[in-house]
Chains A and B, each alone.
Chain A
Amino acid sequence: MSRRRLLTIVGLSAGSTAMYQAMHSLGFAAETNFTRPIQLSAAPKGASVLVLGAGIAGLVAAYELRNAGYRVQVLEYNGRAGGRNWTLRGGDRYTELGGDTQECRFDPGHYINPGPWRLPYHHRGMLSYCKRLGVALEPFVQINHNAYLHSHKAFDGKPQRLRTVKADYHGHVAELLAKATRSESLDADVTAEDRAKLLDSLRFWGALDRNFRYVKGDASNDRRGYERDPGGGLSARPQFSEPVGLSDLLNSGLWAALPFGEMYDFQTTMFQPVGGMGRVGQAFASELAPLIRYNAKVVQIHQDEHGVRATYDDTAGGASRQTVQADWCICTIPLSILGQIPMNVGGPMAAAIAAVPYCTGVKVGLQFKRRFWEEDEHIYGGVTYTDLPIGQISYPSSGFFSDGKGVLLGAYIWDMLNSMEFTSMTPAERVAKAVEYGSNIHPQYREEFDNGIAVAWHRAPFAMGCFGLWTEATRAQHYDNLCGFDGRIVLAGEHASYLPAWQEGAVTSALDAIDRLHRRALAAGAVA
């Protein structure tokens, strides 16, 4: 093997590392700091808190503060709790900014989660609240070796099974490394004693044959699968499949999607609430029902030395402008909206609120007349990744083998320009585009498509964006100012966390905020 070739391989893995580091700097791979349910001591007598926003952060804050004995009031813009924790089911109507209204026409039992849709096993805060609130969880299939990796310009646009790409990539890398090891090219780095062990491990890890080659045969097919599977009786003999060559594999670019399932946030086991992520918001809502005022559009937040006052409009058409007051305020309104609401906080917090643009995510849910991905292609849950603008297709993680219709996630776009283009379309155009692109991967789309629904997060009236887009520079300059108390006001939400876009960020930021609030309230003593 030429040094240049080896370097090519190293360069590829360095690319993955660099990618991971980039994600880490964005806070995407950070760990939760949740350890156990918070235990607040009793609230000072008569102390009150105003919670703005009934998304996950606001609900967690309201739940814990109420339990500690605070008088809690929650104002929520929507007519439901949960915020971006939200599930669309048959019969639901959704009107986006600009006025387009969609009615979800999924069959009973089917749904999509336009916002968060999966819970990593280490998001212990979310898992803890699901358990405490009685929200049933089931496995979310993230990694499916039989789902596809797809590039429209590789392999004649034919989708490849994750299984074969992964096996072939590992196999070729192992073969190259074994060659280098055996030709003593690595002697400066590998001792003679380690060399034999390294070769053994490469042979097993990469599914190499006894001569350290990755070739058509038992070893490789045990990973990549067979042309004809082994069976019983006279038709028992397997037919081996042929590995894809290294050059074709590298040029396909499909290797770029291999680390997804290895990333901390996407490792097995992942979970989802049975019946949709929105079950979490609903469970909080029934617990906190009397405390939440829905259809309340906050138009002003004002604090003085005695307390905090929020003015809101009742958008359901009741008495128009109203005011509520409390000793303290936990404000979870997304920065995309909060930045437009007059609020007398100091320069540092105001600058922080203005410093965070929002990602432009889009999701499209598609209902089909049958579960062809299971019936025809034996794909049970998991995600297909594609270089088409739809980004990915995710198959349902429940209802396997059921008759009747099926709903899949037909697009999940957070690439900025493509998601902006999808946002610029009408909902019907987004659905049509998702069907058109997806039919390149599943030709059955054309025959089996039934109906769809599309959510572009910048057009969601209650969010006006998907999640806060931090950079290392903006974090360094603004993050502490965003999270610190300003007088009697403290912010919480995924935007006030190192777990952007994850509900765990909302949970942990809320817990951090109420812990600090509680200490201040105790220090201030019972209110006058």
Chain B
Amino acid sequence: MNVRKPCLAAAGGLGAGVVFCLALAAVALVDTPARAGSAGIFDPATFRTTDGRQIFEQICQGCHMPNGQGAAGAGHFPALANNRTLASRQYVALTILMGRRNMPAFGAKHAIGFGAPPAALSEDQIAAVINYVRTHFGNRYADSITAAEVAALDQSLH
């Protein structure tokens, strides 16, 4: 049986009716184990976690893969392991804020959706996942990024 945890109800925004679930969803299923994390996203409006690992496992690993190893088909998704661009925490933050090519933007100013709420993450969430990625998969960067720094970078974008 599912154990359900009530969260905040989301208000329907533009286009909420298109995927009308989003105007309504308000609980998370918490007892179903899955590699992507025990508590699912369920309702994007209430996805508030600042656990960098959870954000990585429920969002990033879809393309960058569970160990950050990336993947190659007709094109490729870059690995986050042994990727020198990760040396710059600002570069990573800007990539997440603005998106890059077919990678969608996650900054609130740039994120878009298709008749549904966009995949917007908070500065706290973005900082958390950057710090997670830069200290896992063989990455050992000593410096970390704060939400304030992410916010400042976001401010610099037009």
A contact residues vs B (CB 8 Å cutoff): 15-16, 18-19, 22-23, 26, 28, 77, 97-98, 151-154, 253-254, 256-257, 259, 297-298, 333, 335-337, 339-341, 354, 356-360, 385-389, 391, 414-418, 420-421, 423-426, 429, 432-433, 436, 440, 456, 458-465, 469, 471, 500-501
Q: Are B112 and A469 in contact (CB under 8 A)?
A: yes
Among candidates B22, B24, B34, residue contacting A425 with C-beta atoms closer than 8 Å? B34
Q: Chain A contacts of B22 at CB under 8 A?
A: 387, 415
B interface majority secondary structure? loop
- Mark B113-129 against chain A: 1 for CB-CB distance below 8 A, else 0: 11111110000000000
**A26-B115, A97-B73 known; A256+B16 contact, CB < 8 A:** yes
Which chain A positions have C-beta within 8 A of B37?
421
Would you call A421 and B77 a contact (CB within 8 A)? no
A517 to chain B, nearest CB (A): 24
Q: Is the CB of A337 within 8 A of B75?
A: yes
The chain B residue sitting closest to A473, CB to CB, is B112
A459 surroundings in chain B (CB, below 8 A): 62-63, 71
Determine the residue in chain B with the shortest Cβ distance to A471: B112
A436-B2 in contact (CB<8A): yes
- Sorted nearest first, the 7 A-B pairs with minimum C-beta distance are A461-B73, A423-B62, A387-B21, A336-B102, A416-B119, A256-B20, A337-B75
Rounded to whole angstroms, the CA-CA distance of A153 and B21 in the bound complex is: 11
Give which listed residue, A98, A420, A463, contacts B58 with CB less than 8 A: A420
The answer to whether the Cβ of B148 comes within 8 Å of any Cβ in the partner chain is no
Q: Is A389 within 8 A of B41, CB to CB?
A: yes
- In the complex the two chains form, is B74's CB within 8 Å of A421's CB? no
Closest B residue to A440 by beta carbon equals B2
The 19 listed contacts between A and B (C-beta, < 8 Å) are A26-B115, A97-B65, A97-B73, A152-B25, A253-B20, A256-B20, A257-B17, A359-B114, A360-B119, A387-B25, A414-B115, A415-B21, A415-B117, A421-B37, A423-B62, A432-B34, A469-B104, A469-B114, A471-B112
Q: How many residues of B contact A (CB 8 A)?
A: 59
On chain A, the residues within 8 Å of B18 by CB distance are 19, 22-23
Cα distance, A22 to B113, chains bound together (Å) = 11
CB–CB A420/B59 < 8 A: yes
Chain A residues with Cβ below 8 Å from B117 are 415-417
* With A97-B73, A336-B75 as contacts: A259 and B101 at CB distance below 8 Å: no
Given A15-B12, A97-B71: A414 and B62 within 8 A (CB)?
A: no
Given contacts A354-B101, A357-B112, contact A416 B118 (CB under 8 A): yes
In-complex Cβ contact of B101 among A153, A340, A389 (8 A): A340
Task: Determine if B94 is an interface residue (Cβ-Cβ < 8 Å).
Answer: no
Tell me whether B101 and A339 are in contact (CB under 8 A): yes
Judged by a CB distance under 8 angstroms, whether B99 is at the interface is yes
Closest partner residue, chain A, to B67 (CB atom) = A98
A97 and B77 form a contact (CB under 8 A): yes
Interface string of B7-21 (1 = CB under 8 A from A): 001001011111111
Q: Which partner residue on chain B sits nearest A18 by CB separation?
A: B14
Check if B75 sits within 8 Å of A387, measured CB to CB: no
Residues in A with CB closer than 8 Å to B103 are: 357
* A contact residues around B113 at 8 Å (CB): 415-416, 469
Chain B residues in 8 Å Cβ range of A77: 73-74
Contact with A along B21-61 (1 / 0, CB 8 A): 11111110100101111001110100100000000011111
Q: Is B140 an interface residue (CB 8 A)?
A: no
Contacts of B34 in A (CB 8 A): 425, 429, 432-433
With A152-B27, A387-B25, A420-B58: A23-B73 Cβ-Cβ less than 8 Å? no
Known A-B contacts A389-B42, A415-B22, A424-B61; A19 and B15 likewise in contact (beta carbons under 8 Å): yes
